[in-house]
Amino acid sequence: MWLLLPILLYSVIFLAVRHIYSHWRRKGFPSERAGISWSFLHQAYRREFRHVEAICEAYQTGRDRLLGIYCFFRPVLIVRNVELAQTILQQSNGHFNDLKWDYVKGYRRFNLLEKLSPIFATKRLSEMFGHVQRVGDHLTAHLLHLEQAQGRALELDLQQMLRVYAINIIGNLIYGLDVNNFEQKDHILSSYVSTGHASLQSFTLRRLPQKSSFTYRLRDLIKQGVEHREEHGLIRKDILQLLIRFRNGNDISGDKWQIDMDNEQDKLLSIKRVAKVAEELLKVSLDSVSSNITLTLFEILQEPLIVEKLQTEIKELSVENGLLKFEELEGLKYMDMCLKETNRKYPPLPIIERICRKSYTLPNTKFTIDEGKTLMVPLLAIHRDERYFSEPMKYKPLRFLHTEKSAECQSSAFIGFGIGGAQCVGQNFAKMVIKVALIKVLQNFHLELDAALMENIEISHQPAPFIRTKDGLKVRLKRREIKPKFYSYAKSKLGSGRNSFSC
Ligand code: HEM
């Protein structure tokens, strides 16, 4: 009898596991043989398992457009064809609603992100640009100060500096604070930079932890900001101001900034919800922005011609009293291509994940995915797939010069900001702040990569989900004397060379 019990228990577990691991085969989907090995359990226990790499490997096996795999006990469907992925992301919104962004007004349910998207409209961003420049100037001033104190070429970890820049952007624009974490090292936001998401082991945005020990302290910051502005009718042109306007039922798609107060019971968002939105924005923007700048610099510093070309483009900007003009950022076409190429090669978010809320027949296929099951679009693997981008591991910004499909690449396979209704709402904001940082750094400094770093650099999504370099980005940095001759040389060499220039 006592012997039978463990045998029975073992059999039940065995059958249950076998049932889970046969999900895709039973549904007729192409799938891989599944099982749990000791090495997997060991890595998972030590939090060393590399989800992103494992999913990319699965993407590379076989040729089917879809592949059923298992993330531990979770059946996951990977889309391995970019056209199919794009169609799904564009057309399937009703089937993959993300409850995180739901909010209810009256008897109707809305998607909060959709409602908040006017915050990132061009007109709004242009008016927030002053704050962004100031944060950019803090970065320059800090680097100049360090360089001066050193008295010779300064060696430093630029990745860390850029994380501070990104958190300063978040502090100033999202939390509405005049904060400079290069100086105020004891600020709560500074501790966010150093601790970061070290404890995260998820690999998509959907699985970011909902609460951390910072949540309550960040909520206090928002509470103070909201109450202060509502009580005194203050105007500060930033994201928080527009969140407060939205909370009070004011239109945010126009151009007004002042807050027309609503009764407490009529407010659309509680302070707690505003704080939650702000923290979500912090989580999605901190690493994505800082990694994009860091990895752009990492790549271009290996190609002096790219640096020259960017510096030539920057030189064309008209600067009045040290201030850049927002409208001119759009003219930085070559820089745009570099940012896109960085986002292609190193998408900060490697996988787009959707959880099926009601069963969905995948377009142009015979397959139906059931409610509750997960679908993944592996951006990293698609962006590094030779079928879509020739020589995918080469950094070639000019591949995005051709918008239409060309023999060399299909730039339309780029989905670094997502696509369709749920694509990244903050992409224009991201481009603006990334460009300002690059302008400030390239305008003011000569940079050289640490040679040892170039050989041993490890760029990974560990800890997931965001990408970063394991040991930072060590560079030698020297103040730049701007010589007009350099520019005329660079211009004559590069200006006409679009077609002959391969990077
Ligand atoms: C280079 C920088 C960035 C990249 C590459 C990026 C990329 C992405 C991607 C791929 C998604 C998922 C889209 C989908 O699910 O279909 C996303 C979602 C999102 N992004 Fe960005 N993003 C960047 C910066 C930012 C910034 C600066 C903000 C805001 C200030 C932002 C706000 C958001 C939000 C709110 C979402 C939705 C998140 C969710 O569904 O939980 N992003 N982003």
Ligand 1 atom with the shortest distance to the CA of 429: 27
Atom of ligand 1 nearest to the CA of 433: 27
pLDDT of residue 290: 93
Task: Establish if 43 belongs to a structural domain.
Answer: yes
The Å distance, Cα 183 to ligand 1 centre, comes to: 29
Q: Please indicate, yes or no, if residue 484 is contained in any of the structural domains.
A: no
Residue 205 phi, psi dihedral angles, 5° rounding: -60, -30
Which range, 188-192, 250-254, 399-403, has the best average confidence (pLDDT)? Answer: 250-254
Q: 53: CA distance to ligand 1 center in Å?
A: 21
Write the residue with the smallest CA distance to atom 37 of ligand 1: 424
What is the C-alpha to C-alpha distance for residues 371 and 29, in angstroms, rounded to an integer? 16
CATH number at residue 362: 3.30.43.20
CB-neighbour burial class of residue 214 (10 A; exposed 0-12, middle 13-18, buried 19+): middle
349 alpha carbon to ligand 1 midpoint, in Å? 8
Nearest-CA residue for atom 32 of ligand 1: 426
- Give Rg (Cα) of the chain: 25
Residue 2 lies in a domain: no
Ligand 1 pocket test, pick from 284, 297, 352, 431 with the greatest ligand atom count within 8 Å of Cβ, gives 284
CA of 169 to the centre of ligand 1 (A): 16
Residue 446 included in any domain: no
- Alpha-carbon distance of 117 to 98, in angstroms, equals 16
φ/ψ of residue 113, rounded to 5: -60, -40
Of ligand 1's atoms, which has the minimum distance to the CA of residue 339?
A: 1
Asked if residue 59 is part of any domain, the answer here is: yes
- Is residue 225 pLDDT above 90, yes or no? yes
**Strands annotated E in 262-366:** 352-355, 360-361
Tokens of 410: 């299909």
The pick from 174, 376, 424, 425 for probing ligand 1's pocket by mutation, whose C-beta has the most ligand atoms within 8 angstroms, reads: 424
Tokens of 280: 């979500």
Residues with Cβ within 8 Å of 138's Cβ and at least 6 positions away in sequence, in order, are 165, 168, 180, 182
pLDDT, tens digit, for every residue of 407-416?
455 568 999 9
- Using the mean position of ligand 1's atoms as its centre, give its distance from the Cα of residue 289 in Å: 10
The model's confidence at residue 396, banded by pLDDT at 50, 70 and 90, is very high
Query: In the structure, which protein residues have their CB atom closer than 6 angstroms to any atom of ligand 1?
Result: 89, 98, 100, 113, 205, 280-281, 284-285, 288-289, 292, 343, 348-349, 352, 416-418, 422-426, 429-430
pLDDT at 308 over 90: yes
Beta-sheet strands, E only, within 370-473: 374-377, 445-449, 459-460, 468-469
Enumerate the known binding-site residues for heme. Answer: 424
What is the model's pLDDT at position 459?
Answer: 80
Compute the distance from residue 395 Cα to the ligand 1 centre, in Å: 23
Cite the annotated binding site by residue number. 424
Structure confidence at residue 174 as a pLDDT band (50, 70, 90): very high
**Is residue 93 very low, low, confident or very high in pLDDT (cuts 50, 70, 90)?**
low
Domain total in the chain: 1
Least confident of 77-81, 101-105, 143-147, 195-199: 195-199
CA dihedral 141, 146, 152, 155 (to 10 degrees): -110
The answer to whether residue 85 scores a pLDDT higher than 90 is yes
pLDDT single digits (tens) 140-171 = 999 999 988 887 778 899 999 999 999 999 99
pLDDT digits (tens, 9 = 90+) for 437-485: 999 999 999 999 887 767 777 787 766 666 777 778 889 999 987 654 4
Q: Whose CA is nearest to atom 9 of ligand 1?
A: 417
On whether residue 31 sits in a domain, the answer given is: yes
Residue 478: DSSP 8-state: E
Which ligand 1 atom is the nearest neighbour of the CA of 170? 30
Please name which of 220, 276, 213 lies closest in space to residue 247, comparing C-alpha atoms: 276
- Name residue 340's beta-bridge partners: none
Amino acid in the structure at residue 290: S
Looking at the CA of residue 415, tell me the nearest atom of ligand 1. 10
Helices (H), 47-171: 51-60, 82-91, 112-116, 122-150, 158-169
Q: Is the pLDDT of residue 489 over 50?
A: no
pLDDT computed for residue 68 by the predictor: 92
Residue 60 placed within a domain: yes
Residue 51: domain span = 19-105+348-394+404-415
Percent of the chain at pLDDT above 90? 52
Task: Report how far ligand 1's centroid is from the alpha carbon of 431 (Å).
Answer: 12
Q: How far is the CA of 381 from the centre of ligand 1 (A)?
A: 18
Q: What pLDDT does residue 413 have? A: 92
98 burial (CB, 10 Å; 0-12 / 13-18 / 19+) is middle
CA nearest ligand 1 atom 6, residue:
417
Query: 104 pLDDT band (50/70/90 cuts)?
Result: confident
Instruction: Tell me the C-alpha distance between 225 and 175, whole Å.
Output: 8
Per-residue pLDDT for 267 more than 80? yes
Express each pLDDT in 345-395 by its tens digit: 999 989 999 988 888 999 888 899 999 899 999 999 999 999 999 999 999
The predicted model scores a pTM of 0.89
For a mutational test of ligand 1's pocket, the pick from 417, 431, 434, 466, i.e. the residue with the most ligand atoms closer than 8 A to its C-beta, is 417
Average pLDDT, the chain: 85
Are 78 and 54 in contact by the 8 Å Cβ rule? The answer is no
pLDDT, residue 487, reads: 40
- Answer whether 377's CB lies under 8 Å from 352's CB: yes
Bridge partner list, 386 = none
pLDDT digits (tens, 9 = 90+) for 119-142: 999 999 999 999 999 999 999 999
**224, part of any domain:** no
246 has pLDDT over 50: yes
Contacts of range 123-130, beta carbons closer than 8 Å, 24 or more positions apart: 123/255, 124/242, 124/255, 125/326, 125/428, 125/429, 125/432, 126/326, 126/327, 127/237, 127/255, 127/257, 128/173, 128/237, 128/238, 128/239, 129/324, 129/326, 129/432, 130/237
Give the C-alpha separation, 80 to 31, whole Å. 12
Give me ligand 1 centre to Cα 118, in Å.
Answer: 15
